[in-house]
Amino acid sequence: MGDLCSLSISISISTFLILLLVFPVLSTQQQPEEEDNPVINRFQTYLRFKTAHPNPNYTVPVSFLISQARSIGLHTRTLEFVPGKPVLIVTWPGSRPDLPSILFNSHLDSVPAEPDKWIHPPFSGVRTADGRIYGRGAQDDKCIGMQYLEAIRNLRELWGYKEPTRTVHLSYVPEEEIGGLDGAAKFVASKEFEELNVGFVMDEGQASPNDDFRVFYADRSPWHVTIKATGVPGHGCRMFDDSAMENLMISIELITQFRDSQFNLVKRGLAAHSQVISVNPVFFDAGILTSNGFAMNMQPSEASAGFDIRLPPTVDPELIRNRIAHEWAPASRNMTFQYQLLVALVIKTKLLSCCTEASILLLKGKELTVIMLMCSCQHVLLPGKEELVTLELKFLENYLQSLSLRFLIRTSAPTL
């Protein structure tokens, strides 16, 4: 889940969103808060499945989701385009299957967790007395996956909706946190996806620290960049020009200066996080290994560093590509680089970038309405902090009851 760019919308879309945002406030006042809420219990159960990389377990959470879906009369189908990496499709058939369907997407996996840095174990799903729920994936984005199901549960059991006009699909995909190549990418390229006849997609957005919903049309493009320096190895008793470590340190200094220039715009209130190019160092690899650590008297012949770079949709990718090639990792300093561009696409001559699955759906080349929307979380995931959500019980239970599903079903959805 990345930093997202806000959507500038027309009057008709504005009206649509106002309806989406007003209904939850009204509905959350209708049900009293319960001490032992089964909705929250189900959410905590989902959080306890260890789906973090590098070894996510998908089998148990998929079985759990299937049981929840079938308990409210929904159809399920599991696809495996790559062994051990299932794509779960939950379907609520509509009365007009000839119309383009509605797809609500979330992903099964989560980023790694360092248990010793957490107040509560990351897969315990602990709920504290002040209403905070701790768990890796609580915000990104198991909350959304459960809210879809709970919304349909309420629509069927409390509101009496037997079937929507359009068929509604929920997709639970793997591998989103590492690019989605073995998940959503293979799914949207399949005949099974084509058969869904998708016309409207809602995907994850960004957590909000209050009850304001933010709707997004684009995300910053993640670039995973590795720069590598080479040089002649030498003994530690002498200093040499153009050593691998020296060249890498020069590059790191230049990258840090650029990072500071971007971050200062945010700190001074001149730009939002989503409007600047973020650069974050993520690994450093150098040194000659020995049986008891590193050789402290040898200068290595190779050294490399990795960076997570995020480009706003308004930035020309060639600018950063040229900066990397000519300033941060120039061949003149025995430098090379490689990068993995996770999300970048051109649609109707406009460069867009979105969260992983939304981008893959758009790359499909189909005319889709894609909206990214995130629930309200009073505590947004912060560096070095646990991942948690603070939710009113009734808010989680009613998330989509009067939000997207209700509006889209009652009006047969916007024109697609």
Per-domain residue ranges of the chain:
4-218+353-410, 221-343
Which sign does the torsion angle of CA 398, 75, 198, 220 carry? positive
Over residues 36-79, the pLDDT tens digits come to 789 899 999 999 999 999 999 999 999 999 999 999 999 999 99
How does residue 85 score in pLDDT terms, banded at 50, 70 and 90?
very high
Q: Could you tell me the fold of the domain covering 221-343?
A: Alpha-Beta Plaits (3.30.70)
Both structure tokens of 148: 């879809």
The one catalytic residue among 141, 150, 176, 246: 176
pLDDT recorded at residue 206: 66
The one catalytic residue among 109, 141, 203, 246: 109
pLDDT recorded at residue 46: 96
β strands within 52-100, DSSP E: 75-82, 85-92
Reply yes or no on whether 80 is catalytic: no
Do 366 and 382 touch, CB atoms closer than 8 A?
no
Is 168 or 350 the better-scoring residue by pLDDT? 168
Over residues 359-389, the pLDDT tens digits come to 555 445 444 444 444 443 333 444 444 555 5
The H or E element containing residue 148 is helix 143-157
Report the distance separating Cα 168 and Cα 163, nearest Å: 9
Task: Map residue 272 onto helix, strand or coil.
Answer: coil
Task: Map residue 25 onto helix, strand or coil.
Answer: helix
Over residues 240-278, the pLDDT tens digits come to 888 999 999 999 999 999 999 999 999 999 998 888 999
pLDDT recorded at residue 159: 81
Question: 142-146, 156-160, 206-210, 341-345 — which one is most confidently predicted on average?
Answer: 142-146
What amino acid is encoded at 59 in this protein? T
Whether omega for the bond prior to residue 140 falls within 30 degrees of 0, making it cis, is no
Report the distance separating Cα 240 and Cα 17, nearest Å: 63
Over residues 199-247, the pLDDT tens digits come to 888 887 666 666 666 666 667 788 999 999 999 888 888 888 889 999 9
Q: What does R_g of the chain's alpha carbons equal in angstroms? A: 24
Report the distance separating Cα 170 and Cα 225, nearest Å: 33
Average pLDDT over all residues of the chain = 77
Do 52 and 122 touch, CB atoms closer than 8 A?
yes
Q: Can 4-218+353-410 and 221-343 be said to share one CATH topology?
A: no
pLDDT recorded at residue 237: 87
Do 253 and 259 touch, CB atoms closer than 8 A?
no
The label of the residue with tokens 């299957």 reads: 97
Binding-site sequence positions? 107, 140, 177, 204
Binding-site sequence positions for Zn(2+)? 107, 140, 177, 204
Report the distance separating Cα 410 and Cα 412, nearest Å: 6
Reply yes or no on whether 176 is catalytic: yes
Work out the average pLDDT over 162-168.
88
pLDDT at 190 over 60: yes
Which sign does the torsion angle of CA 136, 138, 142, 146 carry? positive
pLDDT recorded at residue 196: 94
How does residue 283 score in pLDDT terms, banded at 50, 70 and 90?
very high
pLDDT recorded at residue 194: 92
Question: 333-337, 360-364, 390-394 — which one is most confidently predicted on average?
Answer: 333-337
Long-range Cβ contact pairs of 18-23 (< 8 A, separation 24 or more): 19/407, 20/213, 20/403, 20/404, 20/407, 21/213, 21/403, 23/402, 23/403, 23/406, 23/407
Both structure tokens of 169: 């699909």
**How are beta strands 369-373 and 198-203 bridged, if at all?**
parallel
Ranges 106-120, 134-148, 320-334, 345-359: which has the least confidence: 345-359
pTM over 0.95: no
Give, as one character, the DSSP assignment of residue 218: E
pLDDT recorded at residue 392: 40
Report the distance separating Cα 352 and Cα 311, nearest Å: 11
CATH homologous superfamily, domain 4-218+353-410: Zn peptidases (3.40.630.10)
CA distances in angstroms from 292 to 285, 288, 289, 301, 304, listed in the order given: 17, 11, 8, 20, 22
pLDDT recorded at residue 382: 41
Do 180 and 348 touch, CB atoms closer than 8 A?
no
Strand partners, 110: 52
